[in-house]
Structure 1
Amino acid sequence: MSMTADVAHNTSIGVGALIRNWKIITVLFPEIHVELNKLTEVTECSVIANITTTITLSEPSLHSVFLQPKTKYERTLCSWIVTKLQGQRVVMHGSVRFSWCSASNRVIGVHSQTDMMTPLMQILGDIEDFAMLFSNARITPGFDLVR
Protein backbone atom coordinates (compact mmCIF):
# COMPACT_ATOMS: atom_id res chain seq x y z
CA MET A 1 0.00 0.00 0.00
CA SER A 2 1.33 3.44 -0.91
CA MET A 3 0.37 6.98 0.13
CA THR A 4 -1.48 9.63 -1.80
CA ALA A 5 0.63 12.64 -2.77
CA ASP A 6 -1.53 14.81 -0.50
CA VAL A 7 -1.46 12.49 2.53
CA ALA A 8 -2.46 14.39 5.69
CA HIS A 9 -0.05 14.20 8.63
CA ASN A 10 -1.16 16.07 11.76
CA THR A 11 -0.80 19.72 10.67
CA SER A 12 1.00 19.15 7.37
CA ILE A 13 0.04 17.83 3.96
CA GLY A 14 2.02 15.73 1.50
CA VAL A 15 4.55 12.93 1.43
CA GLY A 16 7.40 15.47 1.30
CA ALA A 17 6.19 17.14 4.51
CA LEU A 18 5.90 13.76 6.25
CA ILE A 19 9.45 12.83 5.23
CA ARG A 20 10.75 16.30 6.25
CA ASN A 21 9.14 15.95 9.68
CA TRP A 22 10.83 12.60 10.31
CA LYS A 23 14.18 13.90 9.05
CA ILE A 24 13.99 16.80 11.50
CA ILE A 25 12.89 14.56 14.39
CA THR A 26 15.80 12.17 13.78
CA VAL A 27 18.29 15.05 13.63
CA LEU A 28 16.93 16.51 16.88
CA PHE A 29 16.79 13.11 18.59
CA PRO A 30 19.38 10.87 16.88
CA GLU A 31 18.81 7.98 19.30
CA ILE A 32 15.04 7.82 18.79
CA HIS A 33 13.46 4.38 18.94
CA VAL A 34 9.81 3.71 18.03
CA GLU A 35 8.29 0.36 18.96
CA LEU A 36 4.94 -1.00 17.80
CA ASN A 37 2.98 -2.40 20.75
CA LYS A 38 -0.41 -3.15 19.24
CA LEU A 39 -2.27 -2.72 15.96
CA THR A 40 -6.06 -2.37 16.09
CA GLU A 41 -8.46 -2.18 13.16
CA VAL A 42 -10.89 0.66 13.86
CA THR A 43 -12.88 0.66 10.64
CA GLU A 44 -12.52 -0.96 7.23
CA CYS A 45 -10.35 2.00 6.27
CA SER A 46 -8.31 2.75 9.37
CA VAL A 47 -6.04 1.17 11.96
CA ILE A 48 -4.50 2.53 15.13
CA ALA A 49 -0.96 1.60 16.07
CA ASN A 50 -0.16 1.92 19.78
CA ILE A 51 3.51 2.82 20.05
CA THR A 52 6.25 3.50 22.56
CA THR A 53 8.79 6.14 21.58
CA THR A 54 12.07 6.40 23.46
CA ILE A 55 14.50 9.32 23.21
CA THR A 56 17.63 10.29 25.12
CA LEU A 57 17.94 13.97 26.00
CA SER A 58 21.44 15.19 25.22
CA GLU A 59 22.66 18.71 25.93
CA PRO A 60 22.63 19.59 22.20
CA SER A 61 19.05 18.29 21.78
CA LEU A 62 17.90 20.19 24.87
CA HIS A 63 19.32 23.45 23.53
CA SER A 64 18.26 22.99 19.91
CA VAL A 65 14.75 21.68 20.66
CA PHE A 66 13.68 23.36 23.87
CA LEU A 67 15.83 26.00 25.47
CA GLN A 68 16.29 29.42 23.91
CA PRO A 69 16.46 31.68 26.99
CA LYS A 70 15.98 35.41 26.46
CA THR A 71 16.70 36.85 29.90
CA LYS A 72 19.26 36.24 32.66
CA TYR A 73 16.50 34.73 34.80
CA GLU A 74 15.51 32.35 31.97
CA ARG A 75 19.18 31.36 31.47
CA THR A 76 19.40 30.43 35.17
CA LEU A 77 16.22 28.36 34.96
CA CYS A 78 17.35 26.71 31.74
CA SER A 79 20.64 25.73 33.34
CA TRP A 80 18.68 24.05 36.14
CA ILE A 81 16.41 22.26 33.66
CA VAL A 82 19.40 21.02 31.61
CA THR A 83 20.93 19.61 34.81
CA LYS A 84 17.71 17.69 35.53
CA LEU A 85 17.15 16.41 31.98
CA GLN A 86 20.57 15.86 30.43
CA GLY A 87 21.19 12.18 29.73
CA GLN A 88 17.66 11.17 30.72
CA ARG A 89 15.98 8.43 28.72
CA VAL A 90 12.38 9.49 28.08
CA VAL A 91 9.81 6.77 27.35
CA MET A 92 6.62 8.12 25.78
CA HIS A 93 3.39 6.33 24.89
CA GLY A 94 1.33 7.29 21.89
CA SER A 95 -0.61 6.22 18.86
CA VAL A 96 -0.65 6.62 15.10
CA ARG A 97 -3.87 6.38 13.13
CA PHE A 98 -3.50 5.28 9.52
CA SER A 99 -6.47 5.97 7.23
CA TRP A 100 -6.74 4.84 3.64
CA CYS A 101 -9.01 5.13 0.66
CA SER A 102 -10.42 1.73 -0.27
CA ALA A 103 -11.02 2.83 -3.88
CA SER A 104 -7.38 3.76 -4.55
CA ASN A 105 -5.93 1.44 -1.89
CA ARG A 106 -3.68 4.28 -0.69
CA VAL A 107 -2.98 5.84 2.69
CA ILE A 108 -4.67 9.25 2.93
CA GLY A 109 -3.93 10.12 6.56
CA VAL A 110 -1.25 9.50 9.18
CA HIS A 111 -2.17 11.18 12.47
CA SER A 112 0.07 10.71 15.47
CA GLN A 113 0.03 11.78 19.09
CA THR A 114 2.59 11.03 21.76
CA ASP A 115 2.44 11.92 25.45
CA MET A 116 5.65 13.78 26.22
CA MET A 117 4.17 15.57 29.21
CA THR A 118 3.81 12.63 31.61
CA PRO A 119 7.43 11.38 31.53
CA LEU A 120 8.89 14.91 31.53
CA MET A 121 6.71 15.95 34.48
CA GLN A 122 7.95 12.88 36.37
CA ILE A 123 11.54 14.01 35.82
CA LEU A 124 11.05 17.77 36.27
CA GLY A 125 8.66 17.54 39.19
CA ASP A 126 6.72 20.76 38.63
CA ILE A 127 4.63 22.50 36.02
CA GLU A 128 6.71 25.71 36.08
CA ASP A 129 9.82 23.93 34.79
CA PHE A 130 7.69 22.09 32.24
CA ALA A 131 6.15 25.39 31.06
CA MET A 132 9.63 26.96 30.79
CA LEU A 133 10.87 23.95 28.81
CA PHE A 134 8.08 24.30 26.23
CA SER A 135 7.78 28.11 26.20
CA ASN A 136 9.88 28.47 23.03
CA ALA A 137 10.19 24.81 22.04
CA ARG A 138 10.43 23.56 18.47
CA ILE A 139 8.25 20.60 19.47
CA THR A 140 4.88 20.31 21.24
CA PRO A 141 4.11 18.24 24.36
CA GLY A 142 2.36 15.92 21.87
CA PHE A 143 5.74 15.35 20.13
CA ASP A 144 4.77 17.24 16.97
CA LEU A 145 7.00 19.83 15.32
CA VAL A 146 6.01 23.46 15.80
CA ARG A 147 5.27 25.12 12.46
Structure 2
Amino acid sequence: MASTMAQGTESTSEAASHDQENTPNSDLDDYRRLLQHRQSRRDIQRRYRAKLHARSVSFERNVERLKDEVARLDEEYRRLTANSLSSTTPWNLMAEYFSLFRDGLTTMTPEVMVKNGSGIDAMLEIWRSISMRRDDLHVRLERLENGPGGSFIATTKCYFTITRSMLLQEFPHVVMNSDEGRPLLVVEKLLGQQIALLSEVRFDWDESTGRMTAVTGRYFKAEMLMPLLKILSNLEDVALVLG
Protein backbone atom coordinates (compact mmCIF):
# COMPACT_ATOMS: atom_id res chain seq x y z
CA MET A 1 0.00 0.00 0.00
CA ALA A 2 2.86 2.37 0.80
CA SER A 3 4.17 1.74 -2.70
CA THR A 4 0.78 2.57 -4.21
CA MET A 5 0.53 5.77 -2.20
CA ALA A 6 4.02 6.76 -3.30
CA GLN A 7 3.10 6.19 -6.95
CA GLY A 8 -0.06 8.29 -6.53
CA THR A 9 1.91 11.10 -4.95
CA GLU A 10 4.46 10.95 -7.75
CA SER A 11 1.72 11.12 -10.43
CA THR A 12 0.11 14.11 -8.74
CA SER A 13 3.45 15.89 -8.58
CA GLU A 14 4.10 15.20 -12.27
CA ALA A 15 0.65 16.56 -13.25
CA ALA A 16 1.16 19.70 -11.21
CA SER A 17 4.59 20.15 -12.74
CA HIS A 18 3.10 19.66 -16.23
CA ASP A 19 0.41 22.32 -15.55
CA GLN A 20 3.03 24.76 -14.32
CA GLU A 21 5.06 24.22 -17.49
CA ASN A 22 2.04 24.70 -19.79
CA THR A 23 0.68 27.86 -18.15
CA PRO A 24 3.60 30.16 -19.10
CA ASN A 25 3.66 28.72 -22.62
CA SER A 26 -0.06 29.35 -23.03
CA ASP A 27 0.31 32.94 -21.81
CA LEU A 28 3.24 33.46 -24.17
CA ASP A 29 1.22 32.14 -27.12
CA ASP A 30 -1.66 34.48 -26.26
CA TYR A 31 0.74 37.40 -26.05
CA ARG A 32 2.28 36.53 -29.41
CA ARG A 33 -1.15 36.31 -31.01
CA LEU A 34 -2.04 39.71 -29.54
CA LEU A 35 1.15 41.24 -30.97
CA GLN A 36 0.44 39.67 -34.37
CA HIS A 37 -3.11 41.05 -34.31
CA ARG A 38 -1.89 44.55 -33.47
CA GLN A 39 0.78 44.40 -36.18
CA SER A 40 -1.82 43.23 -38.68
CA ARG A 41 -4.06 46.18 -37.84
CA ARG A 42 -1.15 48.60 -38.18
CA ASP A 43 -0.29 47.11 -41.58
CA ILE A 44 -3.90 47.49 -42.72
CA GLN A 45 -3.99 51.12 -41.58
CA ARG A 46 -0.66 51.83 -43.32
CA ARG A 47 -1.90 50.36 -46.61
CA TYR A 48 -5.15 52.29 -46.30
CA ARG A 49 -3.31 55.60 -45.79
CA ALA A 50 -1.05 54.89 -48.77
CA LYS A 51 -4.05 54.08 -50.94
CA LEU A 52 -5.85 57.24 -49.82
CA HIS A 53 -2.78 59.36 -50.63
CA ALA A 54 -2.48 57.81 -54.09
CA ARG A 55 -6.14 58.48 -54.78
CA SER A 56 -5.79 62.07 -53.59
CA VAL A 57 -2.89 62.65 -56.01
CA SER A 58 -4.90 61.08 -58.82
CA PHE A 59 -7.93 63.26 -58.11
CA GLU A 60 -5.79 66.40 -58.05
CA ARG A 61 -4.50 65.54 -61.51
CA ASN A 62 -8.03 64.88 -62.72
CA VAL A 63 -9.16 68.26 -61.40
CA GLU A 64 -6.48 70.07 -63.42
CA ARG A 65 -7.32 68.09 -66.53
CA LEU A 66 -11.03 68.76 -66.12
CA LYS A 67 -10.44 72.47 -65.59
CA ASP A 68 -8.74 72.56 -68.98
CA GLU A 69 -11.65 70.63 -70.47
CA VAL A 70 -14.13 73.03 -68.90
CA ALA A 71 -12.33 76.05 -70.34
CA ARG A 72 -12.33 74.46 -73.80
CA LEU A 73 -16.01 73.50 -73.66
CA ASP A 74 -17.00 76.92 -72.35
CA GLU A 75 -15.17 78.56 -75.23
CA GLU A 76 -17.03 76.34 -77.69
CA TYR A 77 -20.31 77.21 -75.99
CA ARG A 78 -19.65 80.93 -76.37
CA ARG A 79 -19.21 80.42 -80.12
CA LEU A 80 -22.65 78.88 -80.49
CA THR A 81 -24.99 80.71 -82.83
CA ALA A 82 -28.26 82.20 -81.61
CA ASN A 83 -30.19 79.43 -83.34
CA SER A 84 -28.17 76.73 -81.62
CA LEU A 85 -28.61 78.41 -78.25
CA SER A 86 -32.36 78.72 -78.68
CA SER A 87 -32.61 74.95 -79.14
CA THR A 88 -31.17 74.30 -75.66
CA THR A 89 -33.81 72.95 -73.25
CA PRO A 90 -33.66 72.07 -69.56
CA TRP A 91 -34.32 68.45 -70.39
CA ASN A 92 -31.44 67.87 -72.78
CA LEU A 93 -29.11 69.94 -70.60
CA MET A 94 -29.93 67.84 -67.52
CA ALA A 95 -29.45 64.66 -69.53
CA GLU A 96 -26.02 65.95 -70.55
CA TYR A 97 -25.24 66.85 -66.92
CA PHE A 98 -25.81 63.28 -65.77
CA SER A 99 -23.97 61.93 -68.78
CA LEU A 100 -20.92 63.93 -67.66
CA PHE A 101 -21.32 63.34 -63.93
CA ARG A 102 -22.27 59.67 -63.88
CA ASP A 103 -18.77 58.63 -62.77
CA GLY A 104 -18.09 61.47 -60.34
CA LEU A 105 -15.74 64.29 -61.41
CA THR A 106 -16.70 66.65 -64.25
CA THR A 107 -17.95 70.25 -64.71
CA MET A 108 -20.76 72.77 -65.07
CA THR A 109 -21.15 76.35 -66.32
CA PRO A 110 -18.86 79.00 -64.72
CA GLU A 111 -21.56 80.94 -62.83
CA VAL A 112 -23.65 78.01 -61.58
CA MET A 113 -24.56 78.13 -57.87
CA VAL A 114 -23.89 75.04 -55.75
CA LYS A 115 -24.11 74.17 -52.06
CA ASN A 116 -20.70 75.51 -51.07
CA GLY A 117 -20.40 78.49 -53.40
CA SER A 118 -20.50 79.07 -57.13
CA GLY A 119 -18.56 78.31 -60.27
CA ILE A 120 -16.45 75.56 -61.72
CA ASP A 121 -14.09 75.18 -58.76
CA ALA A 122 -16.93 74.76 -56.26
CA MET A 123 -18.63 72.15 -58.44
CA LEU A 124 -15.38 70.26 -58.93
CA GLU A 125 -14.66 70.33 -55.20
CA ILE A 126 -18.08 68.83 -54.41
CA TRP A 127 -17.58 65.96 -56.85
CA ARG A 128 -13.97 65.51 -55.76
CA SER A 129 -15.13 65.16 -52.14
CA ILE A 130 -17.91 62.73 -53.07
CA SER A 131 -15.61 60.63 -55.24
CA MET A 132 -12.87 60.42 -52.58
CA ARG A 133 -15.32 59.21 -49.93
CA ARG A 134 -16.95 56.60 -52.16
CA ASP A 135 -15.13 53.95 -54.16
CA ASP A 136 -16.43 52.94 -57.60
CA LEU A 137 -19.00 55.76 -57.71
CA HIS A 138 -21.58 55.55 -60.49
CA VAL A 139 -24.67 57.78 -60.76
CA ARG A 140 -27.69 56.68 -62.81
CA LEU A 141 -30.57 58.99 -63.71
CA GLU A 142 -33.90 57.38 -62.76
CA ARG A 143 -36.41 60.10 -63.72
CA LEU A 144 -36.86 63.85 -64.39
CA GLU A 145 -39.85 65.87 -63.17
CA ASN A 146 -41.04 69.47 -63.03
CA GLY A 147 -40.32 71.05 -59.64
CA PRO A 148 -41.50 74.18 -57.80
CA GLY A 149 -40.75 77.67 -59.11
CA GLY A 150 -39.80 76.54 -62.59
CA SER A 151 -37.16 74.14 -61.28
CA PHE A 152 -36.61 70.53 -62.30
CA ILE A 153 -36.11 67.55 -59.99
CA ALA A 154 -33.93 64.62 -61.02
CA THR A 155 -34.16 61.39 -59.04
CA THR A 156 -30.93 59.41 -59.21
CA LYS A 157 -29.53 56.15 -57.91
CA CYS A 158 -25.92 56.24 -56.72
CA TYR A 159 -23.87 53.06 -56.68
CA PHE A 160 -20.68 53.00 -54.59
CA THR A 161 -18.44 50.97 -52.28
CA ILE A 162 -18.44 51.80 -48.56
CA THR A 163 -15.06 53.11 -47.36
CA ARG A 164 -13.74 54.15 -43.96
CA SER A 165 -13.58 57.75 -45.20
CA MET A 166 -17.27 57.62 -46.13
CA LEU A 167 -18.22 56.17 -42.72
CA LEU A 168 -16.14 58.81 -40.95
CA GLN A 169 -17.92 61.56 -42.88
CA GLU A 170 -21.48 60.20 -42.73
CA PHE A 171 -21.47 58.20 -39.47
CA PRO A 172 -18.53 59.39 -37.34
CA HIS A 173 -20.03 58.04 -34.11
CA VAL A 174 -19.60 54.48 -35.39
CA VAL A 175 -15.98 54.89 -36.51
CA MET A 176 -14.90 56.82 -33.40
CA ASN A 177 -16.14 53.99 -31.16
CA SER A 178 -14.84 51.14 -33.31
CA ASP A 179 -11.71 50.23 -31.34
CA GLU A 180 -13.40 47.19 -29.87
CA GLY A 181 -16.73 45.45 -29.29
CA ARG A 182 -19.87 45.72 -31.40
CA PRO A 183 -19.02 48.97 -33.28
CA LEU A 184 -15.79 47.35 -34.52
CA LEU A 185 -17.70 44.34 -35.87
CA VAL A 186 -20.22 46.64 -37.57
CA VAL A 187 -17.47 48.67 -39.27
CA GLU A 188 -15.71 45.49 -40.43
CA LYS A 189 -18.99 44.22 -41.95
CA LEU A 190 -19.62 47.49 -43.80
CA LEU A 191 -16.18 48.19 -45.27
CA GLY A 192 -15.90 47.15 -48.91
CA GLN A 193 -19.63 46.48 -49.35
CA GLN A 194 -21.47 47.68 -52.46
CA ILE A 195 -24.53 49.87 -51.90
CA ALA A 196 -27.17 51.64 -54.00
CA LEU A 197 -28.81 54.81 -52.69
CA LEU A 198 -31.58 57.05 -54.03
CA SER A 199 -31.00 60.81 -54.08
CA GLU A 200 -32.42 63.98 -55.62
CA VAL A 201 -30.84 66.82 -57.59
CA ARG A 202 -32.70 70.11 -58.10
CA PHE A 203 -31.89 72.27 -61.13
CA ASP A 204 -32.93 75.93 -61.24
CA TRP A 205 -33.32 77.07 -64.84
CA ASP A 206 -33.05 80.61 -66.25
CA GLU A 207 -35.25 80.93 -69.33
CA SER A 208 -33.65 84.23 -70.37
CA THR A 209 -30.14 82.78 -70.69
CA GLY A 210 -31.00 79.14 -71.34
CA ARG A 211 -28.66 78.02 -68.57
CA MET A 212 -28.77 76.47 -65.12
CA THR A 213 -28.41 79.00 -62.30
CA ALA A 214 -28.21 76.55 -59.38
CA VAL A 215 -27.74 72.83 -58.73
CA THR A 216 -28.48 71.37 -55.30
CA GLY A 217 -28.53 67.75 -54.26
CA ARG A 218 -29.61 65.69 -51.27
CA TYR A 219 -30.01 62.05 -50.37
CA PHE A 220 -32.50 60.38 -48.06
CA LYS A 221 -30.97 58.74 -44.98
CA ALA A 222 -34.11 56.61 -44.69
CA GLU A 223 -33.20 55.02 -48.02
CA MET A 224 -30.12 53.49 -46.37
CA LEU A 225 -32.25 51.34 -44.05
CA MET A 226 -32.80 48.39 -46.39
CA PRO A 227 -29.28 48.30 -47.91
CA LEU A 228 -27.76 48.41 -44.41
CA LEU A 229 -30.16 45.75 -43.15
CA LYS A 230 -29.15 43.50 -46.03
CA ILE A 231 -25.48 43.87 -45.05
CA LEU A 232 -25.76 43.80 -41.26
CA SER A 233 -28.70 41.34 -41.01
CA ASN A 234 -30.22 42.89 -37.87
CA LEU A 235 -32.01 46.12 -36.94
CA GLU A 236 -29.94 46.66 -33.80
CA ASP A 237 -26.74 47.20 -35.81
CA VAL A 238 -28.60 49.30 -38.39
CA ALA A 239 -29.89 51.53 -35.58
CA LEU A 240 -26.32 51.86 -34.29
CA VAL A 241 -25.14 53.09 -37.71
CA LEU A 242 -28.03 55.47 -38.37
CA GLY A 243 -27.73 56.81 -34.83
Structure number with the higher strand fraction is 1
Q: Who is 1:114 aligned against?
A: 219
Cα deviations by residue, 1:19-43 (Å, 9 ceiling, x for unpaired) = 1010111122130110001112336
Greater Cα offset, 117-126 or 84-93: 117-126
Q: 1:59 to 1:94 in 2, by over 3 A?
A: closer
Q: CA deviation at 1:108?
A: 1.1
Highest RCO, 1 vs 2 (Cα 8 Å, sep ≥ 6): 1
Q: 1:61 to 1:44 in 2, by over 3 A?
A: closer
In the other structure, the counterpart of 1:90 is 195
- Cα 1:46–1:58 change in 2 (3 A) is same
Note closer, same or farther for the CA distance 1:37–1:129 as it changes in structure 2 (3 Å cut): closer
In the alignment of these two chains, the number of paired residues is 126
- Specify which structure has the higher proportion of helix: 2
Local SS of the residue matching 1:52: strand
Residues 49-128 of structure 1 mapped to structure 2, 5 A cutoff: 49-59=154-164, 61-62=166-167, 66-67=171-172, 68-69=175-176, 74-76=178-180, 77-120=182-225, 121-122=228-229, 123-124=231-232, 125-126=235-236, 127-128=239-240
Pairwise CA distance, 1:74: 4.5
The answer to whether the Cα contact below 8 Å between 2:178 and 2:187 also exists between their aligned partners in 1 is no
Q: Retained in 2: the 8 A contact 1:4–1:106? A: no
Q: Report the Cα offset of residue 130 of structure 1.
A: 2.4
SS in 1 for 2:129: helix
Instruction: Go from structure 1 to structure 2 and tell me whether the alpha carbon gap of 1:64 and 1:96 turns closer, same or farther (over 3 Å shift).
Output: closer
* TM-score, length of structure 2 as denominator length: 0.44
| SS of structure 1 residue aligned to 2:242 | helix
Q: For 1:30, what is the secondary structure of its paired residue?
A: strand
Where in structure 2 are the equivalents of 1:1-80 lying within 5 Å?
A: 3=109, 5=111, 7-10=112-115, 12-15=116-119, 16-42=121-147, 45-59=150-164, 61-62=166-167, 66-67=171-172, 68-69=175-176, 74-76=178-180, 77-80=182-185
Distance in 2, matches of 1:116 and 1:89, equals 16
Unmatched 5+ stretches in structure 1: 132-147
Bigger CA radius of gyration: 2
How far apart, CA to CA, are the structure 1 residues paired with 2:188 and 2:213?
42
Aligned to 2:241: 129
Give CA-to-partner distance per residue, 1:33-83, whole Å, 9 cap, x none: 1000111233684211111011111456546765552xxx55225422212
- Deviations, residues 85-132 of structure 1 (Å, cap 9, x unaligned): 12221111111111122222221111111124432552443323322x
> 1:60 and 1:100, CA in 2 relative to 1: closer, same or farther beyond 3 A?
closer
Q: What residue is the counterpart of 1:137 in the other structure?
A: none
Structure 1 counterpart of 2:138, one-letter code: H
Q: Pairwise CA RMSD of aligned residues?
A: 2.8
